[in-house]
Structures are given as C-alpha cells and as structure tokens.
Amino acid sequence: MKRRIICKTPTLLTLSNMFLGLLVIFHMINTVSERDRRLACLLILLAAFFDAVDGTIARRLDAVSALGKELDSFADLISFGVAPLTIYCNINTWSLSPISFLIFALFPVAGAFRLARYNLGEYSHHFEGLPIPAAGVTLVLSYLALSFLKIEFTHLLVHCIRVLILLLSIFMVSRIRVRRLGSRKKV
C-alpha cells in the first residue's frame, strides 16, 4: 500500500504543474494588476519546478508510465504553452490584432507539435527542438525582468515581445538538438 502511494508522487507533481497553469489562466482572465501578473509568473515558475522533478522522481521510484508521459505533456501545454501568454494578453498597450492573435496562437500550437514529436520519439540524451517549459519560462522571465526594471510596455516593446514569441515558436518546432539536463553524452 505504501509503495503504491509513493509511486503516485510523480503523477501528483504533474497534476500540480497542470493545476498551477490552470490557476494562472483563470486568474489572469479577471485581473490587470502588476502584482497579480508577477504572482502568475511565480506560479508558472513553481509549475516549472514540479515539471523538473516529476520525471526524475518517477525514474528513481521506477514509476515511469505512458500515462505519466502523456499527462506531463498536457500539463506542459497548459502551464508553459498557454498560461505565460495570458500574462501578456491583458497588458493595456497590447492590442490583440489579427497578427498578434496568429503569433499568440502559434506558440501553443508549436508547443503541442513539439510535445507530440517528443512523445513519439526516443530522446534519452537530448531534446529535438526547444522544450516547451524552456520557452514558457523564457516568456515569464522576460516579463519579470521588464516588470522589475519598470520598463513600460510601449508599442515598440510589444513588437519585440511578438518577435520573441515567434522565435520561441520556431525554436520549438525546429530540429535543433538541446542537451537534456543531467545528460552526460554529447549531442
């Protein structure tokens, strides 16, 4: 009985990751305050921590499963593909023009493609394309840096953020090899 409970720990961490992403999305629908955006960023960084440890714990407990891998992908799509965008969506100077919508939509679509490709392949020492958690965390850290430096969201900065989102989307679907953390073999 105790072993079964321990083996569920990775799944609980994955679901915690997903829960935090959903919490950010629902919370950002009704808020426009800087404090709440910063809190959302911190929640996504906490989700990234859960994402980083769930697989490691699953391997150490010999509790790796196909269900866990699929759940992890769904959690990553929510927490790192959609949630970071909601932080940027409700900034007053941001107009969700058709081009902005396409760029915003491309990000989770590219992330979903990358996650599906990963789930179908065998990547023990490297990733193919930028992992979606890295892309999502990049958006979050970018927002936090701009926020703490008190840089205003001018139209020029909004265009720069669009370019960043577009580049991250391209890197996710690219064939570039990214070494896995903890991997000893060269890519």
What are 39-67's pLDDT values in tens digits?
Answer: 999 999 999 999 999 988 988 888 888 88
Tell me the mean pLDDT in the region 172-180.
87
Q: What is the pLDDT of residue 8?
A: 83
Rounded to whole angstroms, the Cα distance separating 97 from 102 reads 9
d(CA 120, CA 122): 7
pTM value > 0.75: yes
Pair of tokens at residue 91: 């900034």
Q: Is residue 186 predicted with pLDDT exceeding 50?
A: no
pLDDT digits (tens, 9 = 90+) for 92-135: 656 667 888 899 999 999 999 999 998 887 766 778 899 999 99
The pLDDT of residue 105 is 94
3-class SS at 71? helix
Q: How buried is 39 (Cβ within 10 angstroms: 0-12 exposed, 13-18 middle, 19+ buried)?
A: middle
Can you give the pLDDT at residue 159? 87
- List pLDDT tens digits, range 17-27: 999 999 999 99
Domains of the chain in start order, with CATH, are 2-179 (1.20.120.1760)
Query: What tokens does 105 get?
Result: 């939509």
Tokens standing for 86? 């909601």
